[in-house]
Chain A
Amino acid sequence: MNEKTRRGFWKNQLFFTGPTLLIFFMVMIVPFLYGIYLTFFEWDGISSSKPFVGLDNYAEVIRSGSFWGSMWLTIKYVAACVVLINGIGFLLACLVVSGIRFQSFFRASFFTPALIGGLVLGFLWQFLFNHFFVSIGKTYGIGLFSKTWLGDETLAFWALVVVTVWHYAGYMMVIFIAGLMNIPNEILEASKIDGAGKLKQLTGIILPLMVPSFIVTVFLSLQRSFMVYDVNYSLTAGGPYGSTVLVSMHVYEKAFRSYDYGVGQAEAFVLFFTVALITLLQVYFSKKKEVEA
């Protein structure tokens, strides 16, 4: 294949990216479009009759108090997670590049939770919350831990946040480490000579230069917390009494437990739209704050 001609150029492109593009198209685009098609029908997933109902499903989604309740709960969860994941991730990254002893060991161990699948994580922490913390609370008389966190609505919500932060802080820490390493040392030295203290260095130099890393980490943590299902399912299963049903779980239950595919798919589409909008806005506004070193 000859890159010199136009045709040759495209043939080359297709040869290398073709298979992946095809798979992406079949696995993501086609189901997505089919899903949108399904939102205009009423279907229970198996019956042969699929009556056309137009925009009824979307109307029901807008009317549905439980969907918006789940959405609001998810927004609160996302806010808590994004702030904590990025905050703790950044602090850990600063800690790990500051030259303390065993820092490679710490680097590896902080990253390890990110390698554990969400389902396993949920069951692990369920055991910790239900039995381990409770027995510590009972032995030492700590009120907060003597009853399982998963039995109370507010505490179960924070349990979800704790598990998600533990899961992803290490992952973001690695991204921040890369960002911190990229800050040229000369600038920091120059600022020290000019009399800048640690805090001024942090706010004036490090943070602005870390904005690209923050764009990435905020985007990843936003997207992952919005779409969470596995930890939600294994840690709280939506309990206690349905108070921690986040929006993905609500979609799943609507489509597969209440056998209402049309509405479930419409909800999923609304979720997709919301997340896409939020993440696009986030990336757009953050890009404006980027500073070149």
Chain B
Amino acid sequence: MKKRKLSAVVVLLLIVGLVISACGTNDSSGSNTGTQASGGSNAGPKNSAAAGTGDKYDGNEETPVKITILNSKGQIAQVFEEAAAAFSAANPNIEVEVITVPSGQSPFERVSVLYASGTPPALSMLDAGDIPKFQDKALDLSGEKWVNELSSPNEIDGKTLAFPFAIEGYGIVYNKAVMDEVAGGAFDPASIKSLSDLEDLFKTVEAAGKKPFILGSMHWSLGNHMLPLAYVTQPEGVEQFLANLKAGQVDLASNGPFNGLLDTLDLLKKYNAGKDDPMAVTAETIAAEVATGNVAMTFNGNWMISQLEDVSPNGEYGFIPFPLSNNSGDRWNSSIAVGATKQMFIDKTVNTVEQQNAAKKFLEWLVYDETGQDYLVNKMNIIPAYKTDLITTDPLGKSIQSYMASGNTLPFGANYVPGDHSSTVGAIMQKYLVDKVDRAGLAKELEDYWKRVQ
């Protein structure tokens, strides 16, 4: 009897031990598919993913500190981890753990979950539009060295609360080899200054036997990149325009930039290489078609360089501005929308002062240290948001930097829109893409959407 009881206890302890060790594994890149419909926002005590807090060390600089960094740029996940390792090697008392949010997932959601479970990262990379929501949790960085070096101020209510990690821009991407061949020499993107210039260009490419354009049907491309070009080119400025839209005071159907944008979109639809089945054209398709040279141009941003290089490692590409009118004199017809899309803030609520200082050190390392700069600019293909002589190595990044240098830029519209703009307005734009709704219908649906936004 005794032996049986003992073995029962041993077996039970083993099972409990197995269960606890399984529950405690580190979930560093898990995705949060919301199948726990009734689970609510509480992640519960089972998921202690970040574990960046709970350090009980004194304020000594040299004592070991462990910080967690949240990276929400899926394309650079691996390089970012290498960069974190390099930083740790250079600063032996700081241990860095990287949490990656895969592309297409909401970084806001991940960070909210981490806050709810009491283990927020020391440094979190969010989309620019999400930063105001974290105002009361972000450390004031206005006193940092790099604030004066930023290409443009990054303030909310006069305080710098976040480090702009990456500048990104988008427009019409062209394959240089194809365009040079068609032009019979070097193709100059600055020659396209109006809608009719673009149409002539398409006709020239077609006459040379190549397909001029392919249009991706992704909701984030149509809804968050293309359409906001109309928001940022309004005479009263983007913020006032959006406030007017929310109040229901805008008549989009008669709005100049809006109609100009749709005229260009109509042209792109007409020459779309995928126009037999527009919704089947995905981000992968447009990258493959442009990289192989089957199609000369598409509409996307400098982040697609990694997909282009997967297909064709040494291709040369550049940006043509997206025309919004037929008037060559309009400034926006020669400008590229550019902005700091990803920003990093330091948590001041749960992370200790040592951890905050370690996070500040990481940011300084990225800006001032040679290895850090090399990682940021060359290996991650990021365009830095601060004044620097470094030029990125990838062709699309170089193109963006040249537009920035000449001052031909527009604000990045997606930074001003609410979180569901991409999926909801993107869906409406997709309906316009397949002609399920006409221009008047599109205008009305957009106005209805904005009136519902709080």
Contact = CB atoms under 8 A, between A and B. Distances in A.
A265 B40 contact: yes
Interface string A1-17: 00000000000000110
Interface string A232-259: 0100001111100000100111011111
A71 B434 CA distance: 26
B37 A227 contact: yes
Chain B contact residues (Cβ within 8 angstroms of A): what range?
35 or more
B33 A268 contact: no
Contacts of A38: 40-41
A147 B137 CA distance: 49
A179 interface: no
Nearest to A45: B112
Contact of B35 (A32, A43, A230, A256): A230
Contact of A271 (B37, B41, B44, B116): B37
B19 A151 contact: no
A45 B38 contact: no
Nearest to B109: A256
A268 B34 CA distance: 11
Interface of B: 12, 15-16, 19, 23, 33-42, 44-46, 106, 108-109, 111-112, 115-116, 133-134, 136-137, 219, 276-280, 282, 418-420, 423-424, 427-428, 430-431, 434, 436
A269 B279 contact: no
Nearest to B41: A261
A290 interface: no
A151 B277 CA distance: 8
Nearest to A38: B40
Interface stretch (A22-30, A81-89, A166-174, A180-188): A22-30
A71 B20 CA distance: 38
Interface of A: 15-16, 19, 23, 26-28, 30-32, 34-35, 38, 43-48, 119, 130, 134, 147-148, 150-151, 227, 229-230, 233, 238-242, 248, 251-253, 255-259, 261, 265, 268-269, 271-272
Given A130-B280, A272-B37, 8 more contacts: A26-B46, A32-B38, A34-B41, A35-B39, A227-B35, A238-B427, A257-B423, A268-B37
A167 to B, nearest CB: 14
Contacts of A48: 136
Contacts of B41: 34-35, 38, 43, 45, 255, 261, 265
Contacts of A27: 44, 46
A257 B420 contact: yes
A23 B19 contact: yes
A46 B111 CA distance: 9
Contact of A30 (B42, B137, B430, B431): B42
Contacts of B112: 45-46, 256
A28 B34 CA distance: 14
A251 B34 contact: yes
B44 A30 contact: yes
11 contacts: A26-B45, A46-B137, A119-B33, A134-B280, A147-B276, A147-B280, A239-B430, A240-B279, A241-B428, A241-B430, A268-B38
A229 B279 contact: no
A136 B450 CA distance: 42
Contacts of A35: 38-42
A4 to B, nearest CB: 14
